[in-house]
Copies of this chain bind each other. A is one copy, B any other.
Amino acid sequence: MLRDFVMTQKPEQEEIRSLLQIEREKLIANQLKVKDSKLPVMVIFEGWGSSGKGGVIGRVIKNIDPRFFKVRSMDTPTPEERRYPFMHRYFQYIPEAGRFVFFDRCWMEEVISQHMSGNLSKAEYRRRMRSITTTERSLTDNGYLVMKFFLHISKKTQHKRLEALQNDEQNRWRVDEDDLRENENYDEYLEAYGRYLTNTNSPSSPWYIIDATSRKWTELQVLQFLNQGIETALANSAYAHPILQNTFPLKRMPRLADVVLEGKQLDNDEYQERLDELQDELKQLHHEVYRLQIPVIIAYEGWDAAGKGGNIKRITSAMDCRGYEVHPIASPEPHEKARHFLWRFWTRLPKAGHIAIFDRTWYGRVMVERIEGFCTENDWKRAYNEMNEFERELNEWGAVIIKFWVQIDNKTQLERFTDRQETPEKQWKITDEDWRNREKWDAYEQAVDEMILKTSTTFAPWHILESNDKRYARIKALEIVIKALREAVEKVDEG
């Protein structure tokens, strides 16, 4: 793709000047339309060292109101960033609806530079490529415009530019080892860049190769494609994306109606004894997890009044409070709603060695958002796959993922609701909304069954906690967490 690219279409200087004027004015008009129609625009600049990425971003943003854009310069990941999944430091910066984010280098650069310096095995390279295509597709599927520019210059041009910089005392610092290595091994890099472009050239987020031999001409090409991309995206307000096959390996799970609740109970003495034992054990394991830098994610979903809060407390009270965080998930804030639905979870991930507990999760997409119509049918139908992909990313990063569905029966919920209603110190726990949701029990049960069926992957299956007796559910949760952490610790210790 890159090797065949021909840089011959450059117009005369004067024409470039007059076309630039037209495109700049178009962008000034388009930014307002982007804002009004709440389109999130992610503009990625990749390319050779010294091809002028920073410069062209500087010129493009002159046409955009500073309140509407951010520029993100992505350098080599820091040690802190390395404690998160590969995609984390990029995903946190995705634009919100109606805004632009310009990336000066992005995930391509990171993968290629690691690949070229021999720090990625073939399997890791393939996994990275899959992360990237999956993320780009998930962004465009969720309404993002993703514009990808590769700034291209010849070996000779790059050499000349690097030499000029090195001979200039003020700019010498701009040339680093990587640039020089790139120029020396231009042909190998050309091959690697070209293959990358071909493999990530998707119809929904295609590559635009920019002949970056001169400044104004570079700017013109970028502006033309950017304006055209915005105009095309603005025309597509409600596109329903094809729903991909859920090809993940799945565990077979029971329907909620088939979950036996009777008899799943513990008397108080039995409970207290087991609880003490298990909490001691978990305490020890928490240190191990920290020492081995294993990230842990524990996700809770369940019926209102099923006992999620108390269950979580029995987990956290066994742990060092510096090593875990509980994230109560309510309906999204405006700045969260303005981004990809997984953004508020990406930004709440634990770093390696830490534990994040989610009290309600990303699965809201296929429960409350589905049932209340907060997203389109196409959105929630796509989401099973998107969430499996998200969890696969976490799993491949090395995370332990434990998902709990806290199950009670309809009758038990009614008893607990009534008790809350009638007990003054519990009244804050029950709202009209809880009663309204209760009326939709059947719709929720259907949604939960579908969720458990489609997202119980072998690497992140659901566990059902029978919680008509809360003590039983707490002990079971502790046992599952301990088992999963122990396995992870043993695996890392061996490997």
Contacts and interface: CB of A to CB of B under 8 A. Distances in A.
Interface of A: 1, 4-6, 8-9, 137, 140-141, 202-209, 225, 228-229, 232-233, 235-236, 238-245, 247-250, 252, 378, 381
A242 B204 contact: yes
B240 A209 contact: no
Nearest to A458: B6
A5 B203 contact: no
A-B CB proximity, top 3 nearest: A235-B240, A6-B249, A232-B240
Contacts of A228: 243, 381
Contacts of A241: 203, 232
Given A203-B202, A203-B204, A243 B232 contact: yes
Given A203-B202, A203-B203, A232-B378, A208 B249 contact: no
A80 to B, nearest CB: 33
B9 A250 contact: yes
Contacts of A233: 240, 242
Contacts of A1: 247
Contacts of A240: 232-233, 235-236
9 contacts: A5-B247, A6-B250, A8-B252, A9-B252, A202-B203, A206-B245, A235-B238, A236-B240, A239-B239
A207 B244 CA distance: 8
A8 to B, nearest CB: 6
A202 to B, nearest CB: 6
Given A228-B243, A229-B242, A235-B378, 7 more contacts: A8-B249, A8-B250, A204-B204, A225-B245, A232-B242, A232-B243, A232-B378
Contacts of A5: 247
A140 B202 CA distance: 13
Contact of A242 (B137, B141, B203, B244): B203
Contact of A209 (B137, B208, B245): B245
Contacts of A247: 1, 4-6, 209
B208 A245 contact: yes
Chain A interface helix/strand/loop/mixed: loop
Given A6-B249, A232-B378, A239-B239, A244 B141 contact: no
A1 B247 CA distance: 9
A197 to B, nearest CB: 10
A225 B247 CA distance: 13
Contacts of A229: 242-243
B9 A137 contact: no
Contacts of A242: 203-206, 229, 232-233
Contacts of A244: 203, 206
A237 B7 CA distance: 37
B203 A141 contact: yes
A187 B250 CA distance: 24
B140 A203 contact: yes
Given A209-B247, A247-B1, A249-B4, A236 B235 contact: no
Contacts of A248: 6
Nearest to A137: B203
Contacts of A6: 247-250
A204 B235 CA distance: 17
A8 B97 CA distance: 40
A137 to B, nearest CB: 5
Contacts of A204: 203-204, 242
Contacts of A202: 202-203
Give the interface centre of A203, A228, A229, A241 by most chain B CB atoms within 10 Å.
A203
Nearest to A453: B9
Contacts of A206: 242, 244-245
